[in-house]
Structure 1
Amino acid sequence: MKRLLRKMSLKKRLWVSFVLLTVVCISVTGTYVSVFFSREMETQATKTSQDTLSKTAQVFDERLRNIVVSISTLMMGEPFQSTMRDVQALNGQDYYKRLSQLQTPFAQMMLADQSIDSVLVHTPIGDFYPTESRRSTVDFVETSLNALIMDTQNRWSTLWVRGHDEELFNRGNPVISLIIKPLFDMTLPDVYVIVNIREDHLQELIQAHLQEGSLRQLVVDRSNRAVFSSVPAMPGSGTQLYEKIGSSDRGHFEYVSESGNPYLVNYATLGMNSDWVLIGYQSKSKLLAPVQHMRWTILTIMGVCVVLALVMSSMLSELLLKPLFNLRNLMLKVERNHLDVRFESAFEDEISQVGHKFNRMLQQIGELIEEVKASEQEKRKSEIKALQAQIDPHFLYNTLNTIYWKSEMEEHQAVSGMIVSLSQLFRLGLNNGREITTLRQELEHVAQYLNLQSMCYPDLFQYEITAVDEKLMNIPVLKLLLQPLVENSILHGFQELPHRGQIRIKADSADGLLTLTVTDNGIGMDANRLQMMLNGPETERTSYALSNVRARLSLYYGNKASMKLESEPGVQTAVKLNIPIQEVMNE
């Protein structure tokens, strides 16, 4: 291979290099982009599906729980209890009286939940049910529900029956049945409360949280049977699908159907019936269809770029090969720091123009060397702003995430308080666009942050900002120094703490230095090891908050500022910042 390359002309080597470079770069970039987007889309789809599934399962469980509560309320009422006493005594003489007394509780229960299709209380002295419903001619003992009860041999108190045709009344709606033994002082044989729940109402709960797309949801039991009789099973599903679910409560996996189609599957067990599982599935091929289109686009771009590489390599080889040697020699001298060389030529061709540009470039390099020195201060300001920009989104994400979940739990008063505190926090943090603030505003800023976090975690910690000498309150300091430190205490110091945490903030001065101290009684850390890591290379740093504050102090104050760590795990951990009092940045 080397001999072949040596025998090639420089023009051919340039041609081959351009083609190979183009093909390799586009291939690597295209492959990376394709794989990255495929995984990202799959991850996001799985997360979105799991969130939707969890919300649906919560709503579905809540509906079933309300039905159980309604039935329990019915059974605890005096009409039902009087009926049970008649059943206990096998007294059927007051059957119609009890039937009439139960009409109001029946009506209240069905009015409280519109998804209840019908209700029947089966007893040895007769069946009790809402009289506005037409009773089927089929006796209860002849129904499939009674057969199911006999099969289970009464080893239950609450029995959920998957979808079937309604048998007790002449309604004809597909229903899911709930069979409950009565709440009474003693066990009464052959007494059951049967509640038929409309399938279409429960199916609407599942469909209500689905957005447009390929995601589908259904409820199955752990015996590979659909709970809703009107809903088909997952396409191409077999026993292997339900073996992956097993007895676990929730999770996700990729499943290849018997027909060879891949699916992304999420599942969650229903709290009211652990034998029922809510499954969400979507076709992976449909989800990743845009990626396939992107791959063909990349191949087309690759072909166009290869053609352009062939044309460009031929043109450049003709223009650059012969006259470049002189210019190359000058460049070699420049590499040895001889910046006083200049290109000279009696010709006015393109290479001469390049040579004159080369002369101009050398002149500009000299000017840039001087400009770099003058711009060093501006670079330092830009680095400070970039580091501060890393703090703000980090805190904003954590706070808004907490507000979101409190909103989901309908804690509206707490959400309002947090939003007010957050607005005050940002007002102080923005500081009218200035990087330097006063100690007074910095303390007020961290107080707002601690107040906000204490609203999020009311029992996690308490804080104290000790009284500060009024003479120190107007000292200029770099903003956002204290907030990352107290955030570090909350997130890492108190998470595994068995008792309530304590944060104390103190500010004092000595020998021309302002000392800011943040102390907590958290789980602590290896202070010596962390101090060494903070002083080491950037890649070795693991503490985001501490390394960020340490870098900002170094960029602004240089060696005049310092950070000191002290820790006795479980007793006290302290971070001390020493800042020159007279150091002020010109904005």
Structure 2
Amino acid sequence: MIKKLLEKWNDIKLKNKLLIAFVILMLLPMSLIFLLSYTSLKNSTLEKFTLYNQVLFENATEEVQNFLDELNSIKYDFIMDDNLISDIGKTFARYTNHQDSFLYTNILTKMSQFISTKEIIQSVQIINKSKEVYFFSKLQGDVPYESDKQIKEGFFNEIVKQEGKYVNSGYDKSRDVYVVGCELFSRDKIQPVAEMIVSFSLDFLKDVIEKYHLTEGGFYVADRSSNKVIFKTTDKFESIIEKLILKDETKLVPKTIFFEETIPDLNWKIIYIVSESSLLNNFSYTKRLLILSFSFLAIFAILFLIFISENITAPITRLIYQMRNLEQSKLKNNIKIARKDEIGDLLNSFYQMLKRIDELVIRVYEEEIARKNAEINLLYMQLNPHFLYNTLDTINALAELGRCKDVSVVAVSLAKFLRSNMAINNSTISLADEIKQIDHYLTIMKIRFSGKLSYRIVYSQEEVLKAEVPRHLLLPLVENSVVHGFKNKNGDAKILIRAKKIENRLKLEVVDNGCGIELAKIEKIKNASNDGIGIPNIIKRLKLLYKEDFDFEIKSKVGVWTKIIIQLPWDKVVKKEEKENVHSFDSGR
């Protein structure tokens, strides 16, 4: 994996490498710094606005509590007036119409005085133990409640149980007021005197919300005794309000912030819910400024990198161009470079080398070509007599046996073999031509073995026949099978020649069912250097043509078979692809 990545990296041009390095070393850290800065600033801004909204909420709930303190204030106004409490407790049985009495008028006057100083209270209704009712309201035409069924079932009984504490009746939609009640005691709290029902408007909550700018979120008030929301500013958070307020769950809802406070006197819970996005509305300007700054820095850095990369790569590109011209002998070596940095030194050193290169390159090239040609020609001179001598021995043996027809077949095959061999002047031939020469040779050998020799030539793709291979690459191997492999062979002799393309290699195999070769002898054959004919000859020619980019392998099982495998680089033996097709030669058995 790492090796492949390194290979791909080495294939990338220097200019692109500089761009990649810039992204890794500059843009990525800049992006990371931007993200960290943005996140830190966002979190600090969110924390700041959260704290600010918390302070506003606390001030708002404190003011709500101040308004609701009027309820306790009016209760204590009655309790602290002993004469008034005494009058409320009296009965008017002797009066036919107690509303005409001085006492009744005095009580209503006091009630009027108490209510007039209260901002949110709309009306007060008092019912003494004799079921006599005193009622005063700021609203014209307002009437008292005649029974607790108009308010809340069992409301009066609940008031008695609480012994002076306020009991919530709920919101009265018909009168647009919230109703609470409590029991009035004498100052010594020994004797209950009456039940007091107080109605007050919730409009003061809207004023508080406006005053403290709690309009971006949702402001809710719930009566915990009845599990009902009695006031809300929006339905936006309806899906979560039940969990947060009514079920008393305090787990944070994602992307939202909430604050809560309780009003013990009325058993209320006040909660303010606001989304983070609402709190960060004012952060959008800072966000745009950060993005603009980062974009400006990134564009500047990219332009600077382009300038630097061009300054570095342009001279190198020119140097590569000059080197390519050097390969084509078009380079002028009298160029002077004005740059004094490392690249300038590199270019000047390169041009100083050109004079010497011009003098040496042609001479060295010609000497090397002459040496290789001489070696290859010498090997061919060694090889051709080797084939000829063996073939003539076969013809002589057939003639002595009087097999004239076979002599004719052998002579014709030999003539075809020599004709095709002499017509080829190159060091390489197509695999198809090599197979033809082998076919001529084995035709001769079949006659020599009196039909006991059979052979097959198989290739798995049509394109392998186009491959250019060294002359006499497979023929010496086939001859070795015939001469050495089938020596003292009892039974039929078989030879298989196979050619196929495997990935990027041309694989050639010569297999026989001869006597086999011992392992020690295999190593001796492959490493031989003084033997100019046969396998050492093939290996030496392969090294001259392909350097180390080939494989030559001998496998054998003594007394059973021998297989010789040659693998050559596909890109060096064929230049264009052919369609896959399967063909075979078969001589018969």
Q: Name which one, 1 or 2, has greater alpha-carbon Rg.
A: 2
- Relative to the length of structure 2, the TM-score reads 0.45
- Relative to the length of structure 1, the TM-score reads 0.45
